[in-house]
Structure 1
Amino acid sequence: MKIAIIGATGWIGSTIMAEALMRKHHVVAISREANKITQAGVTTHSVDLENGNGLKEALDGVDVVIASIGGRAKGNHGIVAQVAQRLLNDLPSFNAKRLIWVGGGSLEVAPNVQLVSLPDFPNDYKDEAIAQGQALTVFKNTNSTLDWLFVSPAAEIFPGERTGSYRTGGDNLLTDANGDSKISVQDYAVALLDEAEQSTHHSTRIGVAY
């Protein structure tokens, strides 16, 4: 399978790329800093997502696009919803078959109560979470013909081990028997690649946690 990863040099994006390569997929890595990618067997493209120049050429012939977009590096969180809209608009004409979006912060802890709205939500991640919630709104309101999926990680995503185990849910935050909501970034990547290969969920948001 030919898989494009937008944001491939980021923490989550690079982990997704490693999982895709381990599964022997053909990876197209897209980033502002694509020159930093040195793994064998990866096709790289430097693309400025703010204007989209070069995006069509980079995504030519891919089966699945996995997008890990954030505005933290440049302090431009508005780019998240902007890129979501651009991909929904443009990917059908690029012949890309599917878009899987990395997005968190908007899972609900009660009906119509998002995790990001709680008083103890970390301030360092609030703007990023709000931006992802705005992107989710873009997805939910789209009339694009693209087959998309928005995948939210657990409340806590951390560098850990790849166990291959995880649960999936819907809009509600998944917690374990201790009330914790966690997933390693490695197992989050497993969930994304499983979805890319198996194509189980369509035009919806799912949550992933232990």
Structure 2
Amino acid sequence: MKVVLYGATGKSGSRILTELTSRGHQVVAVARNTASLPAGVEAVQDDLSDVARIAATVKGADAVVSAYAPPQDDTDQVIGVTERQVAALSYPGSPRLIVVGGAASLEVAPGVTLLASGHLPQEWVAIASSHAKALDLLKASSIDWTYFSPAAFFVPGERTGKFRLGTDTLIADEKHDSRISLEDYAIALVDELETPKHRRARFTIGY
């Protein structure tokens, strides 16, 4: 499978790149700065600012993964990036888009999201709000999208292959700890690419 991976040098993107290449997929790794990408990977420099450039990069791909992370002081950039990705993928036969999303739009009680619950730390509210708006853009689009929300704590860790999947409810353990490693998240994302189960839908992961 030929996969275009945006944000390939980031925390989640670098793990997804490793998982994709370890399974034999052909990856076009896209980043603002490609210097740290591993040798042998097709690298493309792009900042996701131009629809035509995005469209040219994804042409001929089987799928697109967006692990784009906006700057902390301007989190709404993820909204503009999502708009441009949707525009670039709005032609017939365009590849599928899987987005590395946020957790705060997941429900923690019936009809109550983590963002709306009041329990989200203030420093996370801006990025959570931006990601929720990006998800709304995908839902309103006509493209073949999947939005993959991590657990509340999305951190480096072990590649265990043991996790639970869900749809719109935050996954937590019996101690109310909602957590997933970047490595296990990458496994589940590539599983979804290889065997699609959540087209035009959101799903989530946790231990």
So what's the TM-score if we normalise by structure 1? Answer: 0.91
- 1:5 aligns to 2:2 (yes or no): no
Equivalent position SS for 1:139: helix
What amino acid is aligned across from residue 134 of structure 1 in structure 2? K
Q: Is the 8 A contact 1:16 1:189 kept in 2?
A: yes
Give the C-alpha shift of residue 94 in structure 1.
Answer: 8.3
Partner of 2:46: 47
- The Cα offsets for residues 95-148 of structure 1, whole Å up to 9 and x where unpaired, read as 542110110121111123221234342233221111110111111222x1x211
What amino acid is aligned across from residue 160 of structure 2 in structure 1? T
Partner of 1:117: 116
Q: What does 1:165-204 align with in structure 2 at a 5 Å threshold? A: 165-204=162-201
Give the C-alpha shift of residue 160 in structure 1.
Answer: 0.6
Partner of 1:151: 148
Partner of 1:130: 129
Equivalent position SS for 2:175: coil
Equivalent position SS for 1:93: coil
Moved more, 91-100 or 81-90: 91-100
Q: What does 1:21-60 align with in structure 2 at a 5 Å threshold? A: 21-37=21-37, 39-52=38-51, 54-60=53-59
Hey, what's the Cα distance between the residues in 1 that align with 2:39 and 2:6? 18
Unaligned 5+ segments in structure 2 are none
Hey, what's the Cα distance between the residues in 2 that align with 1:136 and 1:56? 20
Equivalent position SS for 2:176: coil
Percent identity at matched positions?
39
Give the C-alpha shift of residue 91 in structure 1.
Answer: 1.4
Alpha-carbon spacing, 1:25–1:19, altered in 2? closer, same or farther (3 Å) = same
Give the C-alpha shift of residue 176 in structure 1.
Answer: 1.7
Partner of 1:85: 83
Unaligned 5+ segments in structure 1 are none
Equivalent position SS for 2:134: helix
Partner of 1:76: 74
So what's the TM-score if we normalise by structure 2? Answer: 0.92
Hey, what's the Cα distance between the residues in 1 that align with 2:52 and 2:140? 25
Give the C-alpha shift of residue 71 in structure 1.
Answer: 1.5
Partner of 1:102: 100
- 1:161 aligns to 2:138 (yes or no): no
Query: Aligned-pair RMSD on alpha carbons?
Result: 1.7
4+ long deviations beyond 4 Å: none
Equivalent position SS for 1:165: coil
What amino acid is aligned across from residue 2 of structure 1 in structure 2? K
Q: Is the 8 A contact 1:8 1:68 kept in 2?
A: yes
What amino acid is aligned across from residue 128 of structure 1 in structure 2? I
